[in-house]
Structure 1
Amino acid sequence: MTDLTEFRSQVGKNFTSDWMQIDQDRVNAFADITIDHNFIHIDAERTKRETPFSGTIAHGFLSLSMLSYFGAQCLPVFPAGFVPVNYGFESVRFAAPVPVGTRIRGVFTFKSLEERKPGQFLLTFDVRVEIENSTRPALRAEWLSMMLAQA
């Protein structure tokens, strides 16, 4: 995409990333980075004994943090002369656990593009992180991004 008109024409469309494997090494690395070593993420045997899960599960925030990666795979490229900035979320819901060993992907609906002031646009995406072979998504969110004209 090179111009704003073409970019704006993508509003209302759906975009889907590739699948990504959630393995124990990735979950362990996330636990180390975030200092969240809850046993449900790192100890499969204890998780099986003490929870309804059949093994370790990914952190909800790991699934959420993958949105940038998934979006870079499938969302429209920003027009020349603009830079994206993460603005936050209107809502985030963790709907289902992600068992280690499964694959997830991002599904985005480009909901809106609103000019807030000259050279500054607010983008809204409805997002689901799907779990392969599951009817329930790992998460649902309304993700906000700013598109800023470069100086």
Structure 2
Amino acid sequence: MSQLVINSFEEFEKYIGQSLGTSEYHKITQDQINKFADATLDHQWIHTDPEKAKSEGAFGNTIAHGYLTLSLVPYLWEQIVKVNNLKMLVNYGIESFKFAQPVLVDSEVRLHASLANITNLRGTVKTEMSIKLEIKDQKKPAFTGKLIFLYHFK
């Protein structure tokens, strides 16, 4: 996997409508799900009780919280693009987002991103990223959507 390096608005702008890349796969374990449940106080049994999830759940096993999968974006994003010469990066928004399929425990996921649009707002660069979280060996992604980032270049 090669990480794309961006040094300026002008370099970023060249990628409008293009794929920026795909991260490595990340395995979602029961331990990670349990820690996320502790952090968010969301201990619904479909996430945290493997025995009940196997016997009573619709998926045959526990599943990752949807927001856990979304929270992996910064970690996976850093594997795709490195933006240099920054003062600051701000997560600005999420648009057209849809959870398409549950992620079962021990599944491997990876992020694919492309640049949908970029705007220079007098020194602040607004980017719209089309993202998809792929699940290894599955046709449907875990989610799709657009993320809005604000890059403040030096």
Equivalence for 1:22? 28
Match of 1:67 among 73, 82, 92: 73
**Offset at 1:82?**
4.3
Q: CA deviation at 1:110?
A: 1.1
SS in 2 for 1:147: strand
Q: Which amino acid aligns with 1:32?
A: D
TM-score under structure 2 length normalisation:
0.90
- Native 8 Å contact 2:86 2:151 kept in 1: no
CA 1:81–1:47 in 2, change beyond 3 Å: closer, same or farther?
closer
Give the superposition deviation at 1:81.
4.1
Offset, 1:83: 2.4
C-alpha displacement at 1:41, in angstroms? 0.5
Which of 68, 91, 99 lines up with 1:94 in the alignment?
Answer: 99
Amino acid at match of 1:109: S
Kept in 1: contact 2:8–2:153 (CA 8 A): no
Aligned residue identity for 2:102: P
Q: Please give the secondary structure, in 2, of the residue aligned with 1:111.
A: strand
- Distance (whole Å) between structure 2 residues aligned to residue 146 and residue 81 of structure 1: 11
Unaligned runs of 5+ in 2: 1-5
Distance 2:129 2:95 in 1: 10
- 3-state SS of the aligned residue for 1:98? coil
The whole-number CA distance in structure 1 between the counterparts of 2:89 and 2:110 is 21
| Residues 17 and 107, structure 1, Cα contact 8 Å, conserved in 2 | yes
Residue type of the alignment partner of 2:106:
G
Matches within 5 A, 1:1-151: 1-14=6-19, 15-75=21-81, 77-116=82-121, 118-150=122-154
Is the Cα–Cα contact under 8 Å of residues 7 and 79 in structure 1 kept in the other structure? no
Distance in 2 (alpha carbons) for counterparts of 1:68 and 1:125: 13
Q: Describe the SS at the equivalent of 1:146.
A: strand
Count of aligned pairs: 148
The one-letter code matched in structure 1 to 2:40 is: T
Query: Does the CA contact (< 8 Å) of 2:9 and 2:125 recur in 1?
Result: no
* One-letter amino acid of the structure 2 residue matched with residue 146 of structure 1: L
Q: Cα RMSD between the aligned structures?
A: 1.3
Q: Hey, what's the Cα distance between the residues in 2 that align with 1:149 and 1:104?
A: 31
Alpha-carbon distance in 2 for matches of 1:112, 1:79: 19
- SS in structure 2 at match of 1:62: helix
Structure 1 unpaired stretches of 5+: none
Q: Is the 8 A contact 2:23 2:76 kept in 1?
A: yes
